[in-house]
A and B are shown apart, each in its own frame.
Chain A
């Protein structure tokens, strides 16, 4: 049996931004390998390069140097259209949820399926199932402004799961919700990982939250400083 390619593999990954005329090295020779089914937390203070790492893994950006393989494919070799296709297979949960304000919870979840070209009936049914999974079935006709932070977060998770992604990327998942909601959220994420086998990569600066993950990668100043199983 062929060994499956790792979900994510970073080899000597470098990313340099130009801040005005000053180059800023956000990532310096980062190496990381994530296998299917893992629950990984990337922990680090702000400016440590963890968000840059997240954007690269989410195929939102391309590395300056080094390789980033997603399911064995080097994203540097992909054109804009191929990157867009890749993003559909990545479930990204943003820190600020990034829901479309004028669409209802269900329409927001449907949106990613509509982008993937799914038919109306199919995506409607699937969106309802997903919202049920995250416990929001009775709130699905509300717009983001009518939902609490925790509820918006769950809509964002449902949307991220819509196209059956290879992994779920979460940026500060508890950054904008209260602690009680946060622990409910973590229970949901763990359940998705354990019961449905969803690979989860979570970026946070919160040590307590990181301890919930099975594996903790610490970053500082653009470099991975430690990588331990929990």
Chain B
């Protein structure tokens, strides 16, 4: 029998039981749609984050944190976690030592980060405050640590506060959260004191940064709040630095590796040095795991669909026992009977996969729109605000890679065929005389 005729016959059998075939196909559609939607969203998210990171983490800067663990002391997230069990801490004056370590180092700046509450007359926001030397910081981030409104003094008063654009105009409609010349109360809960107590001082907003976009590690951010390092030292009562940002003279891989080694060796491997290539590599491997995990979950639903196909095929086989007997009596080979049943599963898998891919792609786009359109300050309300390190106005464009596309198609058809193998084999093994006698 010709292949085309085999498929034609399979198709005529599917057409006869439209509702049943439709429901079976639906199972495949849901499984494939889940896989495609999850993977294309994840891929899109990875692309977005990678792009933002590349923007936020300049290739020619290194970030040094205490501790040997994963990302050291929690880069950019306020410090305090990770860091291993060592007592070693980076000090603010370690910058001078670091600068002397290699001729490839241009400069370095120490950073103190703490979670604080910032309060104006009618607003209260919890966020991370960053203490830096304004002159050095502006030297490293000359294009982003730039004022939009107000002035950044390189030799600031102790009460000077510089805020990111999103803290000034979060809704981008002129309704301002904090503005230049506002006096704000900065409240820090000192949890090392016994009992813990709130420390407070009044800051004066001197400048709002130009919009930067994205999020970043170490560098200026739209959701950042910056105070002079001397003020941070006295207010938080510390000489320790949460991280030291090192600016290199060039971004060659060799330089990055050499300087990173020199720094870790100097601090007896008690620090971790993170470069943008390291972070991007880490991110990519984390996303691979996430993708695998999500695809695994979605694959379970496809497995359920597969069992549905098997169930339907067995019912169909029993119903069509006599028909199989007729086909065999007319001289059809067992192999052709097998192919007819497998053909049905291929058709079901193919239709299901195609619809599933389209649906999954549609879903991914809808999710992306909802996710992107939510705005950065969703949590704000009353006077207790959410930490404005939301998605920072991040947009996700779902990505459907050819691998995912072809993989989904192959997986949909593959699962259908695998689960149809047993029923198809049983059909092919029917004895013509017995099958013809079947009522």
Contact = CB atoms under 8 A, between A and B. Distances in A.
Interface of A: 55, 58, 60-61, 80-81, 84-90, 92, 94, 98, 100, 102-103, 111-112, 114-117, 119-120, 159, 163
18 contacts: A58-B329, A60-B433, A60-B436, A61-B432, A61-B433, A81-B335, A84-B328, A84-B333, A87-B331, A87-B432, A88-B330, A94-B436, A98-B326, A114-B5, A115-B327, A115-B330, A115-B332, A119-B2
B12 A98 contact: no
Contacts of B328: 60, 84, 87
A119 B333 CA distance: 18
B336 A115 contact: yes
A60 B329 CA distance: 6
B432 A112 contact: no
Given A60-B432, A112-B330, 19 more contacts: A60-B328, A60-B436, A61-B433, A81-B334, A81-B335, A84-B328, A84-B332, A84-B333, A85-B333, A86-B331, A87-B330, A87-B331, A94-B436, A100-B323, A114-B5, A117-B1, A119-B2, A120-B5, A163-B331
A55 B331 CA distance: 13
B165 interface: no
A116 B333 contact: no
Nearest to A97: B326
Contacts of A81: 333-335
A98 B329 contact: yes
A164 to B, nearest CB: 13
Residue of A55, A61, A98, A103 with highest tally of chain B CB at under 10 A: A98
A61 B325 CA distance: 12
Interface in B304-360: 322-323, 325-336
Contacts of A89: 331
B86 to A, nearest CB: 75
Given A60-B432, A100-B323, A115 B1 contact: yes
A81 B433 CA distance: 16
B331 A112 contact: yes
A84 B436 contact: no
Nearest to B328: A84
A85 B433 contact: no
Interface in B391-439: 431-433, 436
Given A60-B433, A98-B322, A102-B16, A84 B331 contact: yes
Contacts of B436: 60, 94, 98
Interface of B: 1-2, 5, 9, 12-13, 16, 322-323, 325-336, 431-433, 436
B1 A85 contact: no
Contacts of A119: 2
Q: Across chains A and B, which 10 residue pairs bring their CB atoms closest together, nearest first?
A: A88-B331, A87-B331, A84-B333, A112-B330, A60-B432, A114-B5, A98-B326, A61-B433, A115-B332, A60-B433
A42 B394 CA distance: 86
Nearest to A80: B334
B439 to A, nearest CB: 10
Contacts of B329: 58, 60, 87, 92, 94, 98
A167 to B, nearest CB: 14
Contacts of A116: 1, 331
A159 B432 CA distance: 18
A120 B431 CA distance: 28
Contacts of B5: 114, 120
B333 A80 contact: yes
B11 to A, nearest CB: 11
A112 B330 CA distance: 6
A159 B331 CA distance: 12
Nearest to A160: B330
Contacts of B2: 114, 117, 119
B316 to A, nearest CB: 13
Contacts of B12: 102-103
Contacts of B16: 102
Residue of B2, B9, B327, B433 with highest tally of chain A CB at under 10 A: B433
Given A102-B12, A114-B2, A117-B1, A85 B331 contact: yes
Contacts of A159: 330
A54 to B, nearest CB: 10
Nearest to B337: A84
B331 A100 contact: no
A111 to B, nearest CB: 7
A94 B327 CA distance: 13
Contacts of B326: 94, 98, 100
A36 to B, nearest CB: 20
